[in-house]
Structure formats: C-alpha cells, structure tokens
Amino acid sequence: MKITKICCIGAGYVGGPTMAVIAQKCPHIQVTVVDLNEQRIALWNDPNVDNIPIYEPGLSEVVAEARGRNLFFSTAVDEAIAEAEMIFISVNTPTKTYGSGKGLAADLKYIELCARQIARVSTTDKIVVEKSTLPVRTAEAIKSILQNTGNGVKYQILSNPEFLAEGTAVEDLFSPDRVLIGGETTPEGEKAIQALVDIYANWVPKERILTTNVWSSELSKLVANAFLAQRVSSINSISELCEKTGADVNEVARAIGMDSRIGPKFLKSSVGFGGSCFQKDILNLVYIAKSYGLHEVADYWEQVIIMNDHQKTRFAKNIVCTLYNTVADKKIAFLGWAFKKDTNDTRESAAIYVANDLLFEQAKLAVYDPKVEHTQIISDLNYLQTRPSQENEKGIQTFNDPYEACKDAHAIAILTEWDEFKGYDWEKIYAHMNKPAFIFDGRNLLDKEKLTRIGFKYQTIGS
C-alpha cells in the first residue's frame, strides 16, 4: 500500500518536528498536522518561520523547506482525518490528576477522543499510528472503538513510539538509533507495518527499522525512558555519597562509563531530571505493574522518582543551609529555567521545584533563561498550587539580561546547562554581587578552578 496523505493529530513537541521531517524527506507525501489549539497552529503557520511555537535547533529550516509544499498545519481536524490514508495520534498523555490511578496512570482521554473522532469521520480504510507514549495494550482500546462503528471501514493499528529528545529533535529524527514499529501479526497487519516502514525507509537505513508485535512496541517506549531516567537517578544517588566521602562524581562517572558494558552516556549528575516524560512514563510503568499485582516491580521503578525528588529537594536545602540558614529577602539568581539546554520546554523542570522550595523560605528569585518567558515561569509555579499567584509574582522577577539578574545577588543557582553561561564575564558578575558570592552549580557546568580564583564560593553536585 502506497501512502500519499498523512494526517497527524497533535502539533506539539512530537507531532510538529516529526511530521516536519517526514514531509521534508518525503516530498511525494502530503502531511497535514492538526490541532485544536488555534494559537499553536497560527504560530506554526506564521510567515516568519522563526516564530514557530517550538524551539529546536534546525527545525525552522526544515519547516521553511516543506511548509506550503507538502506540509500543512490546520485546525480542520475532521477534513484532514477524512482525507488521509494514515493517521498519527500524537496528542498529550499526561499523568491523571483525578479518579482512579490519580497521580500515576496516564490520562488517555485525549487518545480516546481522537479514536472516536476518527471513527466518526472516516469513510475509507485507515492505518492509525500510535505516536504518543501509551500504556501497553492501549491499541486494544483504540481498536475496540474503531471497529464498532458498523460502517464497514477497516482499520489497522500500529505502535510507532517516538524516541527523540528535546533540544536534539531534528538530529534524532534525521538519524535515529532505531525506528520501532509494532503491528498485528496478520497479513493485513504486516501490510500496514510495511507501509510505515516504506515511509521511514526514505531516509532511515533498513537495519535501523525494527518491527515487533504491538505490545512489545508500546512497552519498549516506557521501558526505554525508565532505563534512561534510572541511570540519572543512579548517578545522582552516588553524587550524595561522593559529597560525604571526598570522591568526585564526574571522576566516578568517567571511570565506570569507560566500561563498555556500562557506557558513558546519561551519567551526568544534575539537580534532577525534568521534562514532560521521564516522570510521567515511570509513574505509568509503576501503575501498570501494580495493576498486575507486581508490587516488587512497581517499588523498584518508583525508587527512580523518589531519588529524583530527593535530589531537587536537597539542592534547595543546601542553598538555604549554606546561606547561613536563611534566604529570606535575599536575592538568588537562577540561570536557566528550561528542563535542559536548547529547548524552551519547562515541563517538570527541576528549576520549578527548587524555586518553589526557596519561595517557601521567602527568597527573592531573579530568573534568566535565554528561551523562557516570564509568563511561562509564573504559570509553572502556579501549576503547583502551593501559593496564590500574586505571591509567585511577588517572589520572582525575570530578566532579559543575565548580568542584571545576578546584580546584587547573594547567590547564583545554575539550573540549566545552557552553553552561553560558560562564556559569561564572571569577573564582572562577581564584582556586582553581595559577598561572599555563592554559586550553586546544579549542572556541574562551570570551571571550578577559575571561579574559585575569582573569589566565588563555588559548590557543585557530587564533589
């Protein structure tokens, strides 16, 4: 089966970049990305391609090339579904905030809405692709909704989880470690799998396109994120031990990472992992394990989250403790708010939790992030519902100039590893700070020797 028209529901961090790359690499396929969020779609269509709603290195170039040629962004969801032979579902699947499974399970209401909309609108056979990260066996629910319309339309459901990381999305999409496609092991299922394989094969080497059954594919996505997050929590747990023993976590990470069985990646100790997915996906895994009565399995993975929460809390506590046990009315500059460099995404960023703890201690926070706006910062804090919005506004100022943010501060906390922080004139920053001038480097980013020479009291994680 040759695919000529694709529809993707959800123009977010995954739908937008993934479809832009498919469109760029497959000029013969018409790709329409739809979303209910009118403002988001308007930004994707903004004549100035630098205004697209997601910041990713290289993305605006890809969009500029394909948009209007075979890549379209629209709010006309029904029309795009009706036209397409293949429909990707790339909507959000956040942790449930109500009812059974609250705080653990993935909220699948947006997925179900998509399935129902596809069922209502379709008059021709479709391949429906799960691009969102979903609990294992979700395809069963989608299938049940799609196959009970009685209108004779036939569906194949594939699982094709996305492994891109934010900040490197375009690079990851251009040359993925692997593309995973799960489908039914029937002749129709195999045909559908092949149709999707053929799309990726336009630029991904065949040996990197892996096909499995649907359940393995769905579960592999949760497991990949759990393993990655587990490495970060593992090294972060060791960072605390290093601080007590005189070992240096960077040296330990290098020493163990050179063992080819362990490998060097994802061993960077930090103030804690953030991002929209690690926590959500592990909680979901925990929930699934519990629902099968696998309590030891659930506890094992839950510990990854417990350790991550601990790492964020202890970073904030250390700031208070080092600043003579009080930060009330002291200016503390935050360099970075995004959950990692090269993205404007702040979901679950460690900065939010550290800020929240310091606001409880009545600190005055001065935030600078090259890509995050004031309204986003306030909305991240309001989302925690720990104090009225006016108090968050009172406690936080945002700056467009890092030197202004650091001026008269008692301490600087590095929350994101933006490259530009390394190149600052640290002598100048030091000259305008309250003394003693502290730096708490939550990313082990800066040059300890140089900063100590300037006069800073410099603390990193894990040494």
What residues are labeled active site? Answer: 277
CB of 114 to ligand NAD, least distance (A): 5
Given a contact cutoff of 8 angstroms between Cβ atoms, the answer to whether 282 and 103 are in contact is: no
CB of 268 to ligand UGA, least distance (A): 3
218 binds ligand UGA (CB under 6 A): no
Sole window of 44-52, 91-99, 187-195, 265-273 interacting with ligand NAD (rule: CB under 6 A): 91-99
- CA 269 to CA 237: how far, in whole Å? 9
164 residue type, one letter: L
What's 106's DSSP letter?
Answer: B
Sole window of 77-85, 109-117, 179-187, 269-277 interacting with ligand UGA (rule: CB under 6 A): 269-277
Residue 371: alpha-carbon gap to chain centroid:
15
Give long-range contacts, CB 8 A cutoff, 24+ apart: 455-458. Answer: 455/430, 456/426, 456/430, 457/322
> Reduced to 3 DSSP states, what percent helix, strand and coil does the chain have, rounded to the nearest 5?
45, 15, 40
Choose which of 17, 183, 275, 462 interacts with ligand UGA (CB under 6 A): 275
334 binds, among ligand UGA, ligand NAD, none (CB under 5 to 8 A by kind): none
Q: How many residues bind ligand UGA (CB under 6 A)?
A: 21
CB of 103 to ligand UGA, least distance (A): 19
Q: Which two tokens stand for residue 186?
A: 């029937």
Placement of tokens 């809405």 in the chain: 113
110 is in an annotated binding site: no
113 binds, among ligand NAD, ligand UGA, none (CB under 5 to 8 A by kind): ligand NAD
Site string for ligand NAD, 161-180 (x = CB under 6 A): -x-x-x--------------
CB of 163 or CB of 360, closer to ligand UGA: 163
CB of 307 to ligand UGA, least distance (A): 12
271 is in an annotated binding site: yes
What is 338-362 written as a DSSP string? Answer: SSSTT----TT-HHHHHHHHHHHTT
Choose which of 29, 105, 193, 277 interacts with ligand NAD (CB under 6 A): 277
CB of 96 or CB of 280, closer to ligand UGA: 280
411 binds ligand UGA (CB under 6 A): no
- CA 253 to CA 440: how far, in whole Å? 20
Query: Per residue in 277-294, is it b (16+ CB within 10 Å) or e — as a string?
Result: bbbbbbbbbbbbbbeeee
- CA 50 to CA 44: how far, in whole Å? 10
CB of 178 to ligand NAD, least distance (A): 14
**Environment class of residue 376 by beta-carbon count within 10 Å: exposed (0-12), middle (13-18) or buried (19+)?**
middle
Site string for ligand UGA, 229-248 (x = CB under 6 A): ---x----------------
Given a contact cutoff of 8 angstroms between Cβ atoms, the answer to whether 233 and 308 are in contact is: yes
315 binds, among ligand NAD, ligand UGA, none (CB under 5 to 8 A by kind): none
Choose which of 6, 7, 8, 14 interacts with ligand NAD (CB under 6 A): 14
Binding residues vs ligand NAD (CB under 6 A): 9-15, 34-37, 40, 77, 90-93, 110, 113-114, 132-133, 162, 164, 166, 276-277
